[in-house]
A and B are shown apart, each in its own frame.
Chain A
Amino acid sequence: MTLHLLQLHNVRVIGTGNVVVVLGHGFGTDQSLWKQVIPHLVDEYRLVLFDNMGSGATDPDYFSFDRYSTLHGYAYDLLALLEELQISSCIYVGHSVMGIVGCLASIERPDLFSKLILVSASPRYLNDVNYFGGFEQEDLDQLFEAMQANYKAWVSGFAPLAVGDDMDSFAVQEFSRTLFSIRPDIAFDVAKVIFESDFRGVLPYVTVPCHILQSNKDLAVPVVVSDYLHQNLGAKSIVEVLQTEGHLPQLSSPNVMVPALKRHLELSI
């Protein structure tokens, strides 16, 4: 079973440091998202990399639409992995949706996390009264419709938008590759769950210090969201807005992202 779980999530543990850093990738990517970051961290940290269930590198048979109908499913996966690896304390770096998942997991087991680093995370993507998440319901409807109609076409349209770069750029190519490797029905389901999630209510319960990293210009997560997180998180938090574009700064601008990430891993608030 042990082997099984770790295998299914393609868990890799690399690095020689004493501090464990768990890297969680967001929607549409897999652990390769971090590949430009890893070389800079392996010497100081022990990195735990894994794929979320449902991402392109995992066996779709194990994707449970029921379990992952809420982000809690991922949070429990994360906790199961940590327990399986017998990690008693770690710094968790979560990108996009996995940032919120990290928050959820930390609410459940605050003892396992010493620090959360949230990269481009958003508790809610839809606009609401007094909340600007960046999406209107119509936008989402269109998005879902497009996803269902022609997944490939949607990917090729969505990837450049999300990354904020040209179609030919490395980051976009990379993102479209991972995005496209997800089984379309799973991608649709996951996207729906993510975009319709609203975890503003749980933020006050987070007790682990949070470092929020945010691209200056991000289609999926407006900058105000990072401020919202900062205001509403129950724990100490700090926001750094990176001078980058796009939702995946670690892919598109590693030169900015890596130093910032190292800084936040190193320093505590």
Chain B
Amino acid sequence: MRAGVNTVQQTLTPEAANILMQAVSEARRRGHAQATPVHVAATLLASPNSPLRRACLQTHPHSSQLPQCRALELCFNIALDQLQAAQGPLPNGQPSYSNALVAALKRAQAHQRRGCPEQQQQPLLAVKVELEQLIISILDDPRVSRVMREAGFNSTDVKSHLEEIASHHASPLVIPDTIRLPLGVTPIDQMGFPLGVVRPSLLGGFSLPHHINRFSNGAATQERTDLQHHMRPFRITPSPYMNPILLKSGSAIPSVTCEESNQVLEVFLRKKSRNPLLMGDSAARVDDIVKDVIQRLERGTGPEQLHGVKVISANLSCMTLINASKEDLCSRFAELNKSVQELICSGGVVIHMGNLQWLEKQVRSTGSQTAGFYPVQHAASEMKELLARHRDCNRVWLMASATNHTYQNCQALYPSFESQWDFCPISIGASRISTLSTARCSSQGTGIDSLTLSLLPSSGASSQPKVPSEDDGQKLTCCADCSKKYERDAALLQEQECPKNPESPQSCSSSIESPSKAIVDQSLQPSVGSQPALPLWLQKALPAGSSSIATTTNEVREKTPSFSMRLQELRKKWNRTCRNLHSDHLPSWSESIEVSQQQPSPLSSQVSGNPSECTLSLLRERSIAPKPILETLTSLSGHHPSSNVMPLNAKIPGIQSTKTHQLLQARAHNERVHENNNCSPSMLRLSWQTPHSAMPMMRSTEAAVPCSTSESVTQCQPSRTFLRMNPELLGQLCKSLAKKVSWQPKIISSIASTVVQCRAGLSKRAGGLSLRGDTWLLFLGYDRPGKRLMAEALAECSFGDNKKPICMSFGKHQDVSSPDTWNLGLNVPLRGKMPLDQLAEAVRHNPSSLLYLEDLEQADSIFRSSLTRAMSKGRLVDSSGREVSFNSVIVVMTSSVGTCSEVSTTSICGTQNRNDCSQQHNEDHGSYLQASHELNQANKRKPSWNVHGDSDENESSKLLKRSNCGRGLDLDLNMAAEDNDKAPVFTSHVPTQDACSVTGNTKPDLSDEDVLRGARIQLGEFCDLVDAAVVFASPV
């Protein structure tokens, strides 16, 4: 199976072979026994000019490219690190190709053969795989796509992007040096500086040697016209460094637009459905294309048959129509008719109708129209007539644009408008944008958080957003083949009905079902045997009596749907299957709807046995969800109600349905529906069926779930869900917190709920649902012991009894009054280590722990900004650029800023106190960061002025200054500055921690808001970024 290195090499073009060689040597360098697709992908990404990297950047939905690119590299690095090193020496000293890689190479070869018809007859070996084919097939590798997904990239997107390029240009990697500009853009920049001169002189000097003679003498002006042809090298891909804003709003038309406007122009040339209807939700894109098309028509740069064709605007919009009287409209159309007739003689006319929004919008408000005149209908029929009148001469076209949503509504309202107006829908911004935005529109209708959508990856293209209607399962609409199969299944069903044993898995008979069953079982396993699947930190908090799983499950299962219902389901299933398999234009999302409906159901039928009632309520919500849309639309039009289900379907591409599912559950949770036992038959029906069409998607769902660092997501998801749904957990946590810190009752619930939420991946910081479980709390106020105890309690509840928090204190001294279990060691950094690195190190060793960062306001700003970044990213980057995941960390930061209004220096204590602390600390070998043993040395290293300073009460200004800027700066430069000392600086709004902790009790009470406000001034965005900032009341 493992091909020798040399044989494989022969099938590749030199550049592809080169990449492969690099990948192999990378594998050797890392000591891996096999070179996998991941190696190849990493190699492909490594070079800054690689097409893969470019494609990745271009397909990434977000604009900021840099971090994404870094993340991608990092993810691949991690993936490579995780691969097992070879045991023993490598055979031949060379890593072999892994099966996956060989498969990828074979795929590439097959694609290559298919790609070039002239090569099809050649022997296999003669086909050389080009680099782009290699990339495409590498992207197909599940492992690679998983790694990419981790970094936030969608490999299918990247792949389709590459394919798109490949199909448009024979060789996208070679940039043709000169191409004539299609449009005569005058190359003068704003400053009047002729760029046409500028560029070629550079071109001449650097990359196009044959120009050098012409331009190097500087007498380029006379050759301006000639230069224009050379001035813009036709770039297929813009520079990856380019500001994405420019790409989006660029006035010049990117090549993709050209492609699409070509497509539009081609439609004009057709015999039937020759009026292009541009569909896309990115208005700017659509506008660009429309503009381009118009420009090309008017300049006559389009196809020859279209020369002389003029474009006029029909000037129809909501605004112009809403108040139009009948006379108005009539005269307007008469005018239009006249000009059309004139223009036909001169070659033809395209009537640009603009956005079809008016068509949809107005009808909705028809009720409010008076006197029975419907301007929209009138306009529509006028338009139709106009078109019909000139249909024979073939010189009148329509052009219109619509968002997907508008298009669907129009279809619902005027089912035949497409054929009547001879429209040919062209979807713009194909795959990604359209589906996504369709989903957005519809989700508003159903009230599902628009959050869902941000999670959705782009799914396959849905160029034909037409849904085959009437699928209510009332009758069988499928073809003969499928009908036969249906009958067979129906017979089987009948058999099952007799033994009345619906819940045994075998009885669900149809052979297709078993694999899906397996998947379901697998995903269920953790929740059924709920105890072991729980994350460690929560097992403890689980209520003891969570046992009634089996009983409830049975209860639910006993309510099986009636036979007729199941038959109906079966009919539905086969209708659907037939549609999917045997209709030509198969809309890709029609599969995903199946998944979105079915996928949660098997889960819920069993999970519902758990104390988490809400799963069922989720199911209910799901089953209700399609209704509102249906009803509204039915009441609106009465036409093809089911065609409108489409947006809902599209909303949940199967690949991500797990997440959607999770989110919906979260929603269900919010609504707190508690009715699990009296479920309606419809729900059960849902949970019973697992049609096979859902299967491939389910499998892909599973495969596509990114593997989180520590635990398999498929496993942790149900458990997480379970946790989130479980109010008892919250109670438990509250109770144990209250036991420890009884004097702070007000804040406990908010702390506990924040922790539970964040640990479940629902932190608002991460922008909703995520796989991250990091929690960031900010404790404000005076109560230093209270904060510590709270943190300790949190650590125990979250990570187990013996887990102590990892502490770092940035304050000047140790508070003697702290409980003896709590000795915060670090107020002097490890020698040569910045606090940031210490923290990163600590988390690296204890990936799930509670970090207690005391007196944060005194930390230096690098540290703080790093923390800020970690908050948003979930990873901390240490000073050497290495990242450490904070995914299962609770970070408690404390600060007492904003609580004091004046400063006292009385409490700055000497060094022996610290030494005591550090000794105690050293005895305690918990998970404390063992750092303070360095303390003594560190003190010795301090310049003597420091010691003096401590004893010298008079130099309060110096101390004040030092405590403000974090630890005293051991910097000679600064010392000099202070020696020359000036007048004492007195900053009233910058209190020191020391002052607060000691004098806090005597301070006048400030309201929580005051404290928060003060903290916000001092800590800036910190207060807003954390999951929760709680103010500890001063202990009475």
Q: Do B250 and A64 have beta carbons less than 8 Å apart?
A: no
Given the interface pairs A3-B189, A83-B239, the reply to whether A132 lies near B232 with Cβ below 8 Å is no
User: A1's contact among B66, B235, B829, B970, by CB below 8 Å, is which?
Assistant: B235
In the complex, A76 has a CB within 8 A of chain B: yes
User: B246's contact among A4, A46, A108, A201, by CB below 8 Å, is which?
Assistant: A4
Q: How far is the CA of A53 from the CA of B246 in the complex (A)?
A: 11
Q: Do A224 and B239 have beta carbons less than 8 Å apart?
A: no
B residues in contact with A64, CB < 8 Å: 63, 243-245
A residues in contact with B233, CB < 8 Å: 2, 86
User: B860's contact among A46, A53, A79, A128, by CB below 8 Å, is which?
Assistant: A128
User: B252's contact among A3, A20, A127, A128, by CB below 8 Å, is which?
Assistant: A3
Q: Do B66 and A72 have beta carbons less than 8 Å apart?
A: yes
Minimum Cβ distance to chain B for residue A242 (Å)? 21
User: A13's contact among B64, B65, B202, B965, by CB below 8 Å, is which?
Assistant: B202
In the complex, B974 has a CB within 8 A of chain A: yes
Given the interface pairs A76-B243, A129-B967, the reply to whether A137 lies near B861 with Cβ below 8 Å is yes
In the complex, A66 has a CB within 8 A of chain B: yes
- Contact code string A24-63 (vs B, CB < 8 Å = 1, else 0): 0000000000000000000000100000010000000010
B residues in contact with A8, CB < 8 Å: 246
A residues in contact with B243, CB < 8 Å: 5, 53, 62, 64, 67, 73, 76-77, 80
- The A112-156 residues at the B interface (CB cut-off 8 A) are 126-132, 136-138
A residues in contact with B880, CB < 8 Å: 201
- Contact code string B672-700 (vs A, CB < 8 Å = 1, else 0): 00000000000000000000000000000
Give the size of the chain A interface in residues (CB under 8 angstroms): 51
Given the interface pairs A136-B965, A196-B861, the reply to whether A5 lies near B206 with Cβ below 8 Å is no
Minimum Cβ distance to chain B for residue A228 (Å)? 11
User: B232's contact among A3, A66, A137, by CB below 8 Å, is which?
Assistant: A3
Of B880, B965, B987, most buried by chain A (CB within 10 Å of CB) is B965
A residues in contact with B250, CB < 8 Å: 1, 4
In the complex, B247 has a CB within 8 A of chain A: yes
User: A224's contact among B191, B973, B990, by CB below 8 Å, is which?
Assistant: B973
Q: How far is the CA of A7 from the CA of B48 in the complex (A)?
A: 26
- Contact code string B787-798 (vs A, CB < 8 Å = 1, else 0): 000000000000
Q: How far is the CA of A79 from the CA of B249 in the complex (A)?
A: 20
In the complex, A236 has a CB within 8 A of chain B: no
Given the interface pairs A7-B189, A88-B206, A129-B969, the reply to whether A62 lies near B246 with Cβ below 8 Å is yes
Q: Do A127 and B969 have beta carbons less than 8 Å apart?
A: yes
- Contact code string B193-206 (vs A, CB < 8 Å = 1, else 0): 10100110111011
A residues in contact with B242, CB < 8 Å: 1, 5, 76, 80
Q: How far is the CA of A20 from the CA of B206 in the complex (A)?
A: 10
- The B173-217 residues at the A interface (CB cut-off 8 A) are 185, 187, 189-191, 193, 195, 198-199, 201-203, 205-207
In the complex, B881 has a CB within 8 A of chain A: yes
User: B191's contact among A1, A10, A76, A88, by CB below 8 Å, is which?
Assistant: A10
Q: How far is the CA of A255 from the CA of B254 in the complex (A)?
A: 47
Q: How far is the CA of A198 from the CA of B864 in the complex (A)?
A: 12
In the complex, B1036 has a CB within 8 A of chain A: no
CB closest residue in chain A, given B968: A129
Given the interface pairs A4-B250, A4-B251, A138-B987, the reply to whether A76 lies near B245 with Cβ below 8 Å is no
User: B187's contact among A3, A53, A108, A127, by CB below 8 Å, is which?
Assistant: A3
Q: How far is the CA of A131 from the CA of B970 in the complex (A)?
A: 10
B residues in contact with A10, CB < 8 Å: 189-191
User: B862's contact among A4, A85, A108, A128, by CB below 8 Å, is which?
Assistant: A128
In the complex, B319 has a CB within 8 A of chain A: no
Q: How far is the CA of A232 from the CA of B967 in the complex (A)?
A: 24
Interchain pairs with CB closer than 8 A, number = 141
- The B761-784 residues at the A interface (CB cut-off 8 A) are none
Minimum Cβ distance to chain A for residue B636 (Å)? 40
Q: How far is the CA of A67 from the CA of B861 in the complex (A)?
A: 22
Q: Do A66 and B207 have beta carbons less than 8 Å apart?
A: no
CB closest residue in chain B, given A75: B241
Q: How far is the CA of A79 from the CA of B240 in the complex (A)?
A: 9
In the complex, B218 has a CB within 8 A of chain A: yes
CB closest residue in chain A, given B990: A138
Q: How far is the CA of A72 from the CA of B205 in the complex (A)?
A: 28
Q: Do A66 and B63 have beta carbons less than 8 Å apart?
A: yes
User: A84's contact among B239, B244, B879, B964, by CB below 8 Å, is which?
Assistant: B239
- The B217-263 residues at the A interface (CB cut-off 8 A) are 218, 231-233, 235, 238-239, 241-247, 249-252, 254
- Contact code string B861-889 (vs A, CB < 8 Å = 1, else 0): 11001000000000000011100000000
In the complex, A18 has a CB within 8 A of chain B: yes
In the complex, B983 has a CB within 8 A of chain A: no
In the complex, B971 has a CB within 8 A of chain A: yes
A residues in contact with B969, CB < 8 Å: 127, 129
Q: How far is the CA of A76 from the CA of B242 in the complex (A)?
A: 7
Q: Do A132 and B971 have beta carbons less than 8 Å apart?
A: yes
CB closest residue in chain A, given B197: A13
User: A12's contact among B193, B245, B964, B990, by CB below 8 Å, is which?
Assistant: B193
Q: How far is the CA of A79 from the CA of B242 in the complex (A)?
A: 8
In the complex, A243 has a CB within 8 A of chain B: no
B residues in contact with A108, CB < 8 Å: 48
In the complex, A87 has a CB within 8 A of chain B: yes
Of A3, A11, A136, most buried by chain B (CB within 10 Å of CB) is A3
Q: Do A3 and B202 have beta carbons less than 8 Å apart?
A: no
B residues in contact with A196, CB < 8 Å: 861, 865
A residues in contact with B967, CB < 8 Å: 129
- The B968-982 residues at the A interface (CB cut-off 8 A) are 969-971, 973-974
B residues in contact with A224, CB < 8 Å: 973
CB closest residue in chain A, given B201: A13
Q: Do A88 and B971 have beta carbons less than 8 Å apart?
A: no
CB closest residue in chain A, given B1018: A141
Q: Do A2 and B252 have beta carbons less than 8 Å apart?
A: yes
In the complex, A91 has a CB within 8 A of chain B: no
- Contact code string B57-80 (vs A, CB < 8 Å = 1, else 0): 000000111100000000000000
Q: Do B207 and A1 have beta carbons less than 8 Å apart?
A: no
Minimum Cβ distance to chain A for residue B869 (Å)? 10
A residues in contact with B185, CB < 8 Å: 3
Q: Do A3 and B195 have beta carbons less than 8 Å apart?
A: yes
A residues in contact with B990, CB < 8 Å: 138
Q: How far is the CA of A87 from the CA of B198 in the complex (A)?
A: 12
Q: How far is the CA of A195 from the CA of B881 in the complex (A)?
A: 20
Minimum Cβ distance to chain B for residue A3 (Å)? 6
Given the interface pairs A137-B861, A201-B880, A201-B881, the reply to whether A1 lies near B254 with Cβ below 8 Å is yes
A residues in contact with B199, CB < 8 Å: 2, 6, 13, 85
B residues in contact with A67, CB < 8 Å: 63-64, 243-245
Q: How far is the CA of A78 from the CA of B969 in the complex (A)?
A: 37
User: B861's contact among A72, A78, A126, by CB below 8 Å, is which?
Assistant: A126
Q: How far is the CA of A85 from the CA of B231 in the complex (A)?
A: 10
Given the interface pairs A62-B246, A85-B199, the reply to whether A1 lies near B238 with Cβ below 8 Å is yes
A residues in contact with B987, CB < 8 Å: 138
Minimum Cβ distance to chain A for residue B335 (Å)? 38
Of B191, B206, B244, B251, most buried by chain A (CB within 10 Å of CB) is B206
Q: Do A86 and B206 have beta carbons less than 8 Å apart?
A: yes
In the complex, A169 has a CB within 8 A of chain B: no
Q: Could you list 28 A-B pairs, sorted by A, with CB under 8 Å?
A: A1-B246, A2-B199, A3-B195, A4-B250, A4-B251, A5-B242, A5-B243, A5-B246, A6-B189, A7-B190, A10-B189, A10-B190, A10-B191, A13-B201, A46-B201, A53-B243, A62-B245, A62-B249, A66-B64, A73-B66, A73-B243, A86-B203, A87-B202, A127-B965, A127-B974, A129-B971, A196-B861, A224-B973
- Please list the 8 inter-chain residue pairs (A to B) with the smallest Cβ-Cβ separation, ordered nearest first: A80-B241, A79-B241, A76-B241, A132-B973, A83-B239, A13-B198, A1-B252, A80-B242
A sample of 17 more A-B contacts (CB under 8 A), given A2-B199, A130-B970, is A1-B242, A1-B246, A2-B231, A4-B250, A4-B251, A6-B199, A10-B190, A46-B202, A62-B243, A67-B64, A73-B243, A76-B241, A83-B239, A109-B48, A127-B969, A127-B974, A129-B860
